[in-house]
Structure 1
Amino acid sequence: MITIRFFAQIRELVGTSELTLEADGLTISQLLYQLAQRGDKWTMALKEKTVLCAANKQLVDYQYLINNGDEIAFFPPVTGG
């Protein structure tokens, strides 16, 4: 099992801040695709290349291989000014 955390606008769109599911052996890209199948709001919130991802509090790319027990986080790009 893994824990997935959603932040900021992503959390607002998908309607939850946390989700637990089986995803051992998937890449982040495959996980994003799987989550997008939950509906239009999920698809809009989790567009690949527009969402940042972290595994165990470290930024990772979309090819990161998920392991059982990982904590995955999705959040929008951050800008400053």
Structure 2
Amino acid sequence: MARLIFLGRLEDIAGTGEMSVASGPVEHILAALDPALAVQLLGEKVRMALNGRLLTDMGGIVLGEGDELAFLPPVSGG
């Protein structure tokens, strides 16, 4: 199993801070999620971090056993 981590407003949309998923290609994992959540996770301003390292290329990611993929929404402040 791998884990998806949802931060900020994405946690509100997902209804949870994390979710266990079967290992495999991220495209397949996202396709199995609620479509409204998947659309938000694929937003152009959402960044991803695999095992604590920010990803610059989002294509071809395959989650292995024990991997953690975090979704980081844009941050706003004042």
- TM > 0.5: yes
Unmatched segments (≥5 aa) in structure 1: none
Query: Normalized against structure 2, the TM-score is what?
Result: 0.75
Give the residue type in structure 2 aligned to 1:31: I
Q: Where does residue 51 of structure 2 map in the other structure?
A: 56
- Moved runs in structure 1, 4+ residues, more than 4 A? none
SS in 1 for 2:49: strand
Tell me how far apart the structure 2 counterparts of residues 50 and 30 of structure 1 sit (CA, whole Å): 21
Pairing partner for 2:29 from 28, 31, 46: 31
Which has the larger strand fraction?
Answer: 2
Query: Normalized against structure 1, the TM-score is what?
Result: 0.72
Instruction: Tell me the number of residue pairs that the alignment of Structure 1 and Structure 2 aligns.
Output: 76
Question: Among the aligned pairs, what percent are the same residue?
Answer: 32
Matched, 1:69 2:71: no
